Amino acid sequence: MTYLLLHTLFSSLFILWVRWVQQRGDNVLVIGAVNYIAAAVIAIATCAVTPQPSITFPAIAAGTANGLCYFVAYFFLIAAIAWQGVANIAVVARLSILLPIVIGIGVFGERPGTAHLTGILLACAALIVLGKGSSPLRDAKRPAAGYLIVAVFFLIAGSSRVIQAMFKYLCQPAEQTVFLVCAFMAAGISALGLLLWRRELPTGKEWLLGAGLGCTNLLQTLFILKSLESLPGYVVFPVTSAGSLLLTTLAAVWFLKERLRFHSYAALAIAIAALALLRPAA
């Protein structure tokens, strides 16, 4: 359970950090790019000083695919948070557990019970409620293709979870460092290319904020891999999602001063009920 709690903490901290940077008026795109570069450097350094097993193609492929999902999802996250706010995007991110659950049923032969099926239906209902009405942030305007942005973010976030779940079955636990190196190298190289293309050089403050975000990102990924090492995915994803959803929402309202409308609270309540039902008996 320790790794579950740590992943919950750091995944919540990541999304809150992004919103905090936005509220400060900093260049969130540059800081996000630095985040992946810093995480890649830390992962490579860790790999260099620790003994590694034979490197297999599944570990390389899974890590690289996960890193590309991270890189693309981050920019959808920026756009979605600016419109929907931290608390509501936390719902979308956490409910992306539906994708690995579906893969578990279709590929790995998992058979959910009645409570699980009810939870899946409630999860879908929460997304529908979330999409109703105008922007939950009272001073925010809905961007063009706003709902499409949220939907694509949901799919990419879910895909990264599917990849992490598949790592459990395709690779050895000792290959977690290789997975992390490949993931953040893929994201870091992409981020570096973006900075060069935009001809933007991060400032000292942006390096500092980005490095902190990168450490958070690296740790939350490590801890979910550690959690999956000892627990099945249908336990890990619902438990961490429910905990992160609660923590992120409370922090967004209390510390970031986000004001939510009634339909947002309703979506959060339905999501929490859904995630509670999706949690199987340990």
Contact 171, 229 (CB under 8 A): no
pLDDT over 70 percentage in the chain:
78
**Cβ within 8 Å of residue 115, ≥6 positions away:** 277
Quote the CA–CA distance of 194 and 217 in Å, as a whole number: 19
Quote the CA–CA distance of 241 and 54 in Å, as a whole number: 33
Look up residue 174 and give its DSSP letter. G
Look up residue 250 and give its DSSP letter. H
Domain-wise residue ranges, the chain:
2-278
Q: What is the pLDDT of residue 274?
A: 74
Mean pLDDT of the region 93-111: 78
Amino acid of residue 113: G
If one compares 238 and 143, the residue with the highest pLDDT of the two is 238
Q: What is the pLDDT of residue 85?
A: 59
- Could you read off the pLDDT of 28-77 as tens digits, one per residue? 889 989 999 999 999 999 888 777 667 889 999 999 999 999 888 877 77
- Could you read off the pLDDT of 261-273 as tens digits, one per residue? 777 678 778 877 8
Quote the CA–CA distance of 30 and 77 in Å, as a whole number: 14
